[in-house]
Each structure stands twice: as structure tokens, then as C-alpha cells.
Amino acid sequence: MSQLYEGKKGEKVLFMGNQAIARGALEAGVSVAAGYPGTPSSEIIENLADVSKDANMYVEWSTNEKIAVEVAAAASFAGLRSICVMKQNGVNVASDFLLHLVLSGTRGGMVLIPCDDPGALSSINEGEARQFARLLEIPLVEAGDFQEAKDMLKWAFELSEEIQNLVMFRSVTRLSHASGSVELGEIPQTEPKAQFNYKGFILDPVEGPVVSVPVEYRHGLQQEKLKKAEALFEESPFNTYAGPENPEVLVITSSGATLYSREAIHLCNAKDKVGLLKLGTTFPLPTKLIAKHLKTTDKILVVEEVLPFMEENLKVLAQELAPEVGQKTFYGKRSGNIPQTGELNPDLVAAALAGILGQTYAPQDQEYQTKAAQQAFFNAPVRDLTFCPGCPHRASFWSIHNVLAADNRDGFVCGDIGCYSMAFLPCGFSSLKTLHAMGSGTGVASGFGKLGQFGLDQPVVSVCGDSTFFHSGMPALVNAIHHKSDITMVILDNSGTGMTGFQSHPGLPVDAQGNESPALDIPTICRALGATVEVCDPFYPHKTQQTFHKLLEMPGVKVLIMRQICALSPEKKGKKQYEMSVDETICMGENCGCNKLCTRVFRCPGLRWDEEKKTATIDEVICAGCGMCAAICPSGAITRKEVA
Amino acid sequence: MKLFAQTQLLEDVQGKGLCVGCGACVDLCPYFTTYRGKTAMLFPCDRETGRCFAYCPKAEVDYDEVYKARTGRAFDGTPIGPHLETYKAKAGEKTAECTFQCGGTVTALISCALDNKMISGAVLTDSEGRMPKPRLVRTSEQARDCAGSKYSASPTLSVVNQEAKRGVRNMGVVATPCQALAISQMKMNPTDKPDFEDPVSLVIGLFCTWALDARKLEALLAEKGIEGKIIKADVPPPPAEVFVVETDQGTVEIPLAEVREIIPEGCSICPDMTSELADVSVGQVEGDAGFNTLIIRTQKGAELVKTAISQGYLVTETLDGDKVHNLATASANKKKRALAKAKEMGLLNTPDEEGRAAMRVSEGALNKIQP
């Protein structure tokens, strides 16, 4: 048992931000937690799932984020505390339900935890959940460090129950995935009872049915709740100030940028002239608190990541407060001092601050920077963003690419979200030609597949992972079938939510808490929907390609399931199926007839090019023993031996 | 021969729409493949020289060099090319009946060569649905299944390459003129491969005015509502101006003008109507559907024909002088048209500073052909 649940009040432990959030949920007495995996959020549900039986919680990996919020909302309606967790774009998926939920209001405390990914380190967008707080008109709170990550979550539940509405608790990658010291609090030993009351008057927020109508009435009510939250924010202990009474520059920041700002002030040696107002409650802004601080200075630097959310809200407030506090000069994203895209770091903030203070700031001297860049360029080996050794996706895309190239009708693949999103890169033989949201590959393909009327005669293929299939691939497939779109959907079934760490999904026989669950069979579902379905193993490329060619020639909706377990899957336990070897006397190397197919084109990291011998070799340490390179070697120099 | 590799091949042939899908570049390496009658590049190759370019009949073909290597004589533009004798011929009693295009001479010769173990196998073109499907046959029974013209470009040489890689030698190939040219280039081991062994010992050439793009032909037949199994297709002599498709459900005629639309561009620069680089060449006899024209070109070809006659596989008769004359005229016209077209496209004897040529022919040949 981990310290997550066993840790006693007063103990100080090193927690990853997401563990701190999970502990916060335990200390808040949360009964139900639901989410959909997505970096950087996944560890919250995982950690809670691990202790769920001891903590008497219900924890699930929902089919998608909208359903996660709905599941969590049910708990709230029944009087329990609940959280729902997702990455930033998960909120987009859930937003339709959310917009109605905030009108109907909640009962048991309910907190939505989106983990944003500034800089898109593990995402293909830089979306921000903060904007949703304004759109949904709900309170937004953001922790500035690991201790707060735990403590603020508990407080967020009290707030939610106070105003009887959803509260957003937003994290970012550097908070969720970095670690810090956290002093633990008490985990309450309660046995909450779930009961859904609906027999009261329709407008009764506790006893009546939970609906969003009458809309105008409830919308007004919701705005009153927001006002109440703002009043509570005025006194929030999570809004703190450090610095001189009348700073030359006031830095206003929140979330992960708090640490950057603190360091930047230190780097600029400006503790005496720069004040730091760190806000934990970022929407709605506490007017009185802001007014108090605006009065102390003329120059304000707003430090936040990605869009100028706080900056714009502050400016609106500053304008309203102008008669009281005077005209202020704001520095931030709109002034160009802070970039509007990407992650921040202490250097960027220090440079912005130094500029306003009339100082110069260089993180390193120029000579060192040049030298470091040269060293990196000339001496660091080139490392592609690539699939792991033995990854079935490499094998799948090998066949997908080769079939489409041989087919020679300019066929293309509409991509989707998973490790296989990388297939727009050379590791996937640059196969993906569109790449957007979860489930969108097949949706977009469904559209392309109807353009024959306008002369489009290119074969249309979509790819979709097994988890993505359940998340949002199914409605797209249904759409394609119903509209007789001509597409081939390839389901890359690697038996788990591979990219985020093998979380369960409805296709697997186990749930988040480790309980046996009915596994929904993808081929059966697709056949029942009306598609022509084939299943193949991508590690047998010849057979796979034959099947794919056959499907590609057929009209209508075809589904090809390329099924092979992820090379990193815990089930594989790192066991190699084959011992691979290269016969150097047969390897054609750079000669006409091969020209390094395995190391130049296929590029599995388990293969190395021996520059001296001019042959391929196997890197036995990282080779996963999948056998795929033997299947593609044109000369038969690579052989595989079954591992006993 | 100017040697280049994949990059230039793609630019010069695929890029200019000149690929006829002969299969010469296919299956030499993992980078070219053929599917449903079309040659496709799978992955780029960064070599500076390659057999793909060297074998291609549409890329930097030095006609003098190839003709000298194959026939011992430079390319001089003679209408039907270097040859020993001409006959009209048809299958003899020993050759079992099947669907022949004309007289069954090709099937007769291949059967004779296979039965007498003069070749280890023959690369012929069979059909798969409506697509040409080349394969290596080992017996005369199998050879008979492949009889009849497919009229569409077939990647025959891909099978030669595949089988050669597997170690098969002494193959016979039934080849169109472009394929006979590619084989001749292959025999020269242009990339100086140290372990090179010539896998082809007999080439039976087919007369060819043009072939049809296999996929487009399939689409055209579908458009015309032609169903059933195609038994054979033929272009009767002028002034018919039709393409006749015989299926198990009847015979359909398609106006030749529509068919011309689906001739690969590459055929338009081909100067060879009679497969001049084969051991023997076989085609129609004008106005005599029961016979073939047979041109014996090499000693090996002569021996095969001799054996075939003596064993009853083949029957030959004298080919009338006017038929020879007409064949020569048609051949000369094809040369003239092809060279004129290549010249127009800037692909004939292209000076180095202007790029690469599809074909290089001598001044003498040019004077004779008068494009």
C-alpha cells in the first residue's frame, strides 16, 4: 500500500503533482472518480484506482470524457463528492454536458480537473481549459505548488458545496508531472450514503429533479453562485502576495508560472522592487483584492502560460476600477513581453521582467550558448521521434504505406489520437495526412468517402486505436456505414490505452479497479454495425497486405483490425518471441537490391547499421524480438529463432 | 549507357508518364512494386546508380550499345530489325488446342522449349480477373493456360526479377518489344554486379503496336458493360477501326478511338513493332487469322524453330513478299512516329546540358528513319 492512502496526517512526503491531487481527493472524502486517460492527467485516476477498495471509492476509466463527467455528476446528484479528470481537450469533449450541468447545478461537491499541456509536450494542440471556466461561468482555481495541489482540491469541494455548482481545478504538465514535498492531512473515515432525491418541487435545488430548465431562471441563479464564489475568493488563503508595499512592478501570476515568476524575480535580483501576487482563484477574479494591489503600483506584468486569460480579465477589471486605482500599464502577452504560445520558463519571465525594469538579462553568455548549440549539433546522435522497438504500429504502418503506395491511386490515411499519431512522421512512413481530435480520423474519412460525387477517386483510409474506437470512433464508423461512405477503417488494436500507460477500456476484460469486466469485441461490434470486417496480425506483413488490398478494392465501409499487443504491455513482461540475428555474409547492405532497407527505411531502433562492416546488426539490448525485420529483409539475411 | 538510379527514373519515366508497366524495375529491390498493372515506388532510394534505371526501356537507352551487345550490330533503323528469316507459322499437331490469338506459334514454341528442356521455365502472362498476371510456368500444359493476347501492359519482367533472385536460370520469356529491350539491357549487366548471372536464355518477342493501360482497360470494359470472362481481344486490320472483345457471353466491339485514349504515353515513343531484340518474334499475318508471322532473329531462335518443326509443334510456310513489305512499312512508320514524338518531347539524343534522354540513336539511324 502506498503512502497515498496510508500516509498519516502531518507526514511530509515527496509526491508527484497528480499524486498530491489524488491525496487531496482522498482527504476531501471523494467517493466517485471518473476520467479518460490523457497526458498529463492520467496518474490521478490511476492512483485513486489503486487505493479505491481501501478508500471505499468507485473509480472508473470512462469510455470518454463526456461520460466521465456524467458518471461523476450522478454521484454528485446522489449527494456524494466526485471528481472527473481529463486532459485539456477532454473538456471540449465533455463541454456539451458541462454547459447543461452548470445550469442544473450540483449537490455533493463536484470538481472538474483538467490538466493542461502548455507547449503541447504530449498533445497535438495547446488548448486551454481555463477558457471553459468563463464559458461555463463556473469558479476556476489553480494550485501554485504541490502542497496547494492537495490542499486546494479539498477547499474546492467546500466551495462547490457552498455554491452548489461545479468547480474547475486546473493543473498543468509541470505541476501534474513534477514532484515536491507535501504535508499530508487527514483522510476522513466516513461512509457516505448515496440517495438521489427528485420528488421535490422542480426548482428545489436539493429535493427536486436535476434539470437545466427553466433556463433563464437557472442561468441567473448560476451567475449568483459565481458572485458568491467571487466573494469567497476575496478571503481565499490561496491568493498570496510577497514583495514591497509599493513595488515598481507587480507581477500577477498563477499555477505553474508561480514558480517561474518567483525564480525570475530572484534571477533579476529584484526582490526589493518587484511584488508577486500569486492567485489561486483565477476566475472570477476577486475584485477587492485586485483593487488593493493595483493601487500599489503603475506597472503590472501578467505571467501566465499560453493565452492571455488572466491578463484580459484583469484588464477589464482594471478599467472598471480605473476611477479608484488610476490608469495602469499592463505588460504581458498582448504587449509582446510574454509569448502567447508554448511553455514558459524562468528565463523567459526573467527576460520580460528585466525589460520592464530597464535591466538586461541573458540566461547564459553568448559564447557558451554558441558552443553548447554546436556541441549538440555535432556530437549528439540524431534521435527521431519514433515508435518503440517491436512496436506493432511500425509494422501496421509498414503494410498500410506499402499497400497504398502499390495501389497507386493517391490513397491516404486520416489519422487519429494515440501513439500512432506519430505516423505522420517517418517512423510511420509519413502515412497520416490528416490529424485532429479523438475519433476524427474516421469522421473525416467518412466525409472524404462521400466526395466521389465530385470526382474524388482516391482510396480513403482511417486509423483508430482500440481505446479511441470506443471513445469516439464508433459514432464516426456508424456515420460512414449509414451514409454508404467508401472508406477502409484500420483499427490498430494493441490491447490497451497504450500511449497513456495501459489503462483499461471497454474492449478489455478488466476495469480501472482491477475487477473482471465484460470485454466488448471490436470485430463483432463492427460486423453488427454492418461493416465488412477482417482481422490480421501486422507482424505478418504479406498476409496483412493481401487482406488490406482486397478490402481497398471493395466499395462501402470496410474495417481491418490489425491486432498485436503493444511491445511495452505489462502482459508481455518484456519477453522476446524471437531471438533475431543478421547473417553478415548475406546482408546486401548498401548494394543495389537493398540499400539499407531495415536501418534506412524501416528504422526500428533495435536495428543498427555497422558503418565499418557495412551490414545491419541487431541491438540485442533493445530488440523486442518481434521478428518483423526478418519479414521485410529482401535478402533473407535477418533470421529469427523462436525463444523457448 | 548513362547510369542513374531511382531518383532519375522517377523523374524521367514516372514523372513524365512514360512508364508502361513492363516490370523491369520491379522486385529487384524493395523499392518498386507492381499492383494491378501499375508500377509503384514504395520508398525512395538514394543510390546513385541502380538496375532500375539501367534496365528501364524508357530511360537513357543507347540503342547502338544495346543492339551491338545483343545482335552484334549497331542500331541502323532497319524496319523489322536484325533477322535471319521470316515465315508464316502456326501450331502443329503436337501443340494441344487452346485459345490462340492467331496461329498459336508462341504457345507452340514455348511448349517445344519446355518439353525439350531447352529452358527451365517460361515467364508468360496469365490473367487474374481482368488484370494481366505474369507467372513462371514449368510445363507446356501450364503454358497453354496463358495463351492469347491480353492487350494490356503486363509487368512480366517483375517475375523474371523475382525468379532470378530465387536462383532460377535459363528462363524463357515471352516479351513485348519494350520488355525484350529491357531484357537485353539486363543481359549487359550494366551495373557491373560481380555475382551477375544472366537468368534468361530465350526471348520470344511479340509484335506490338501498343498495349493498353490495364486499369483503364478494366474501367473501359466495365463502362461498356462488358461482363463475363474475356477469352481474347483483337484489333482487326483497317478499315475496321474497332477493338473486338470476345467474352464467354459474346463479342463486343469498342471504337478504336476510345481505346487509343488508354494507350500509355510511353508506347508513343517506342520505335519497335516487331520485338527486334528477341530470339524469334511472332505476330499477326495481315488477312490470315490462322497463321502468325514468324521472324527468326538469332541462331538460338533458329534452332528452336527447327526443333519445333521437326517434332511437330510448329508448321511453317513461306511468307509472301507483299506481306513482308507491308510489315516493313508498318514497322518503319512506327519508328518514324516514335522518334518524332521523342524528339518533340525533348527525349531523343538530349544533350547533357539539357538533361537526360529516353533514347539515343545514331546519326545514321536517324537519317534512315527520318522522324
HEC readout, B59-72: CCEEHHHHHHHHHC
Task: Supply the DSSP symbol for A455.
Answer: T
**Residue A450 pLDDT > 60:** yes
Identify which has the larger pLDDT, A568 or B161.
Answer: B161
**pLDDT at residue B246, as a whole number:** 85
Give the integer Cα–Cα distance in Å for B94 and A331: 98
Nearest CB to B29 within list A406, A429, A634: A634
* Residue whose entry in the numeric block shows the C-alpha cell 469522421: A443
Within 8 A of A601 by CB-CB distance, chain B residues are 30, 43
Give the integer Cα–Cα distance in Å for B175 and B71: 17
Within 8 A of A407 by CB-CB distance, chain B residues are 35-36, 40
Within 8 A of B43 by CB-CB distance, chain A residues are 405, 429, 597, 601
Which residues of A sit within 8 Å Cβ distance of B? 401-402, 405-408, 429, 549, 590, 592-595, 597, 600-601, 632, 634
Within 8 A of A541 by CB-CB distance, chain B residues are none
Closest chain A residue to B27, measured at CA: A593
Mean of per-residue pLDDT scores for chain A:
96
pLDDT per residue as tens digits for the range B177-210: 999 999 999 999 999 999 999 999 999 999 999 9
Q: Which of B236, B212, B152, B209 is nearest to B337 (CA)?
A: B209
Exposure string of B169-181, with b = 16+ CB inside 10 Å and e = fewer, is eebbbbbbbbbbb
pLDDT band at B287 (very low <50, low <70, confident <90, very high): confident
* Residue whose entry in the numeric block shows the C-alpha cell 494490356: B152
Distance from CA of B242 to the nearest CA of A (A): 29
The residue-averaged pLDDT of B146-165 equals 89
pLDDT per residue as tens digits for the range A564-598: 999 988 887 778 999 999 999 999 999 999 999 99
Mean of per-residue pLDDT scores for chain B:
93
Give the integer Cα–Cα distance in Å for B179 and B137: 18
**Residue B371 pLDDT > 70:** yes
Give the integer Cα–Cα distance in Å for B4 and B293: 38
- Look at B40 and A634 and tell me if their CB atoms are within 8 Å: no
**Residue B264 pLDDT > 90:** yes
Q: What is the ipTM of this complex?
A: 0.94
Within 8 A of B28 by CB-CB distance, chain A residues are 592-593
Give the integer Cα–Cα distance in Å for B115 and B117: 5
The residue-averaged pLDDT of A180-196 equals 96
pLDDT band at B249 (very low <50, low <70, confident <90, very high): confident
Give the integer Cα–Cα distance in Å for A184 and A191: 21
In A184-296, which ranges are E strands?
A: 240-242, 249-254, 274-279, 281-283
**Residue A156 pLDDT > 60:** yes
**pLDDT at residue B265, as a whole number:** 95
Model confidence pTM above 0.80: yes
Three-state DSSP state, A367: helix
**pLDDT at residue A362, as a whole number:** 87
Q: Which of A256, A303, A306, A332 is nearest to A126 (CA)?
A: A306
Residue type, A468: T
Phi, psi of A246 (to 5 degrees): -125, 85
Please give the full DSSP string across A482-533, using - where no structure is assigned. HTT--EEEEEEE-SSBGGGT-B--TTSSB-TTS-B-PPPPHHHHHHHHT-EE
Q: Cis peptide leading into A139, omega within 30 of 0?
A: no
Closest chain B residue to A634, measured at CA: B30
Q: Which residues face B245 on adjacent strands?
A: B233, B252
* Residue whose entry in the numeric block shows the C-alpha cell 502577452: A333
Region for residue A367 given its phi and psi (left: phi exceeds 0; alpha: psi -120 to 50; beta: otherwise): alpha
**Residue A550 pLDDT > 90:** yes
The least confident of A162-166, B34-38, B246-250, B289-293 is: B246-250
pLDDT band at B98 (very low <50, low <70, confident <90, very high): low
**Residue A354 pLDDT > 90:** yes
Q: Which residue out of A402, A549, A595, A603 would a mutagenesis test of the B interface target, given it has the greatest number of B Cβ atoms within 10 Å?
A: A595
pLDDT per residue as tens digits for the range A36-88: 999 999 999 999 999 999 999 999 999 999 999 999 999 999 999 999 999 99
Contact present, A501 and A177 (Cβ < 8 Å): no
What percent of chain A lies above the pLDDT cut of 90? Answer: 94
What domains, with CATH codes, occur in chain A?
Answer: 3-234 (3.40.50.970), 240-357 (3.40.50.920), 392-572 (3.40.50.970), 578-642 (3.30.70.20)
- The contacts of residue B301 (CB under 8 Å, 6+ apart) are B84, B278, B279, B280
Pairing of strands A110-116, A140-142: unpaired
pLDDT band at B100 (very low <50, low <70, confident <90, very high): low
**pLDDT at residue A574, as a whole number:** 77
pLDDT band at B167 (very low <50, low <70, confident <90, very high): very high
Nearest CB to A408 within list B31, B40, B49: B40
Within 8 A of B46 by CB-CB distance, chain A residues are 595, 600
Q: Which of A23, A78, A28, A85 is nearest to A59 (CA)?
A: A85
Q: How far is CA B85 from the centre of its chain?
A: 20
Residue type, A282: T
pLDDT band at B99 (very low <50, low <70, confident <90, very high): low
**pLDDT at residue B58, as a whole number:** 97
Give the integer Cα–Cα distance in Å for A263 and A485: 56
The residue-averaged pLDDT of B72-84 equals 95
**pLDDT at residue A325, as a whole number:** 96
**Residue A607 pLDDT > 70:** yes
